A and B are shown apart, each in its own frame.
Chain A
């Protein structure tokens, strides 16, 4: 930046400061209230519980009397890492979930968005059909699919199978995870499609035109022109994919309850902290889940923004 530009900037800044000083008492009060209340709520409802959870994960507590909290050091974490096989099962399921979403569901959503953007025949129908599940919460999706796939559900009924012979969609370890992932993808694909479609609509049409005049194939245009132009949307899609896979809870909870039928980290948090068996092992699970989600996202975003700056 040249020094002339710096000089130029100074008076503008001073003017701004002057302007701020002219705020009346009411203005300040209004601003204080409008900023203060949300800040207070944010701190009280987000930061305080988060910090309290981190603290509690280092304690023994039944969740009832504050006075009963006992310092436990790393005991809860040690217990989880070294004594609790279900933690590793759950971690495996979460990782499979993440890989599935990252490699299959999200790219499928992008592909769909791209096809719909090209206005292939019947695109309006596909758009509504794939978007429909997005308006349902995962809990409702769980209820619907549970109704279809449980032993006395519709699918087994149509197959003419008695309860005892029913295909064990949710119980058989060989494929229950894929059944669940299909259910979750049903919604996730539509969600990604919608986000990406919005992004595609915003890509300047002249870019593509220029690419096709230069003789680029469809795939080359997407890879070299459209995809890079969509960077902000790509970041959102990646972050959403990570968060959705790690925070998965409602779908599993609807189908399996808080039992370990198909263990995932979200359910382990709930199982250990809710109910009669409250122990701060649940808080430790929550912290582990938090770190798992936040570390890749923060490092990814930092890298992206660094690239932007340079």
Chain B
């Protein structure tokens, strides 16, 4: 027994050593390529994912770029939370020339700090392939562009077609809150979880808050609340939590023990009827099997207040930026132009990993059923929000809103005191 344990331990140490050596290798590669001169020389690309599907997709893009230009690209991958936590230090140190990032406030903040390369000239070349809204999403506070979109995905209610067919439920017919509550009750009656939910990571539940707030109080109130122009203590926000509380009996009880992928498992394993999440996880279903992916479908979150209908959707845009402190910013710009151009998009599509690109050139007739449904969710919305942690101050979203929602799950009756605390913490934020 003991030998067995210590044997494992050696393995683990070797593993760690390997990891350390790998890390050094990556750091070495970064340093080396940092010395490379010129616009067309070797450059480095920083991916903020280590997951299987997106990695295949990005490496397809990198390979196509190298094949076309002959420029070497070092591919450095970091797990997304770690990447986010280190971003500020990363951009001030020796960052990769081009890296994966997000549109909206998160990009504008770093552009404003002078850490991102102005790529307006790239937009002069490829801008006609994108609709105006994407250009706005890529624009910093100074009116210049700092970002090139890769793809988008809507947040909505996901379900398995085969499950719903078995039960005899038609999710497409769930239009308003009463329909939705009825459906959840029916699922519960079948011994199923109505709505798979997670919040261990502290951000998952933000998507539910966003959509409830937008449905009940409308886009403008939501945006104003996140911008600090409305108060968290407003009765309208309490109304959001009152509705949220109505959903709790139909959710799994271990919300705080599951991260988003745990809740996804509930849907994958047919234990839950619906899963409120961004559609990006389609790739994870495809990793399981083609049947699982083909079985996946999305509908918009139901209407609550007829004044606002279903006019808003959280649809974050992911994409790329060029770092100012990278060793080869010209190389980074050359790469980002390729990534934004239809040629690069096609390279990503050719990997077979599902992508709903922001590029107008993607042939929408080639969309599969799930992608068409995502497009329909988008088309129904008049207003597009990014996501709570992309639409408000980062020192508010992560350290304050995240734990507040978690403590709400622990004690939903404490809504009032949690909202008061949220407001007083907003008021105490450092002046910008």
Contact = CB atoms under 8 A, between A and B. Distances in A.
Interface of A: 60-65, 70, 72, 75, 78-79, 82-86, 89, 125, 128-129, 132, 135-136, 140, 150-152, 162-164, 166, 168-173, 256-261, 263, 268, 270-272, 274-281
Given A151-B258, A152-B265, A277-B398, 12 more contacts: A62-B113, A63-B88, A65-B114, A136-B9, A163-B262, A171-B258, A260-B406, A263-B403, A274-B88, A276-B87, A276-B398, A279-B395
B104 to A, nearest CB: 12
Contact of B257 (A72, A79, A151, A263): A151
Nearest to B109: A276
A47 B202 CA distance: 34
B289 interface: no
A261 B202 contact: yes
A65 to B, nearest CB: 7
Nearest to A63: B88
Interface stretch (B46-54, B337-345, B424-432): B424-432
Nearest to A278: B88
A259 B201 contact: yes
A85 B200 contact: no
A272 B394 CA distance: 10
A275 B255 CA distance: 25
B106 interface: yes
Interface in B1-40: 2, 5-6, 9, 12, 16
A61 to B, nearest CB: 8
A163 B196 CA distance: 11
Interface string B250-283: 0011111110001001100101100000000000
B85 interface: yes
B388 interface: no
Contacts of A257: 81, 200-202
A258 B257 contact: no
Contact of B200 (A75, A82, A259): A259
B421 A280 contact: no
A63 B113 CA distance: 10
A5 B88 CA distance: 64
A65 B407 CA distance: 34
A83 B421 contact: yes
A275 B85 contact: yes
A277 B399 contact: yes
Among A63, A125, A260, A270, which residue has the most Cβ atoms of chain B within 10 A? A260
Contacts of A152: 262, 265
A85 B421 contact: yes
Contacts of A89: 407
Contacts of B144: none
A92 to B, nearest CB: 13
Contacts of B115: 64
| Residue picked from B85, B202, B257, B427, most chain A C-beta under 10 Å | B257
Contacts of A60: 430-431
Given A169-B257, A259-B202, A276-B398, A132 B403 contact: no
B425 A83 contact: yes
Contacts of A256: 200
B6 A276 contact: no
A275 B86 contact: yes
12 contacts: A60-B430, A75-B430, A78-B428, A83-B427, A150-B262, A164-B266, A170-B200, A171-B200, A171-B256, A259-B203, A260-B407, A277-B398
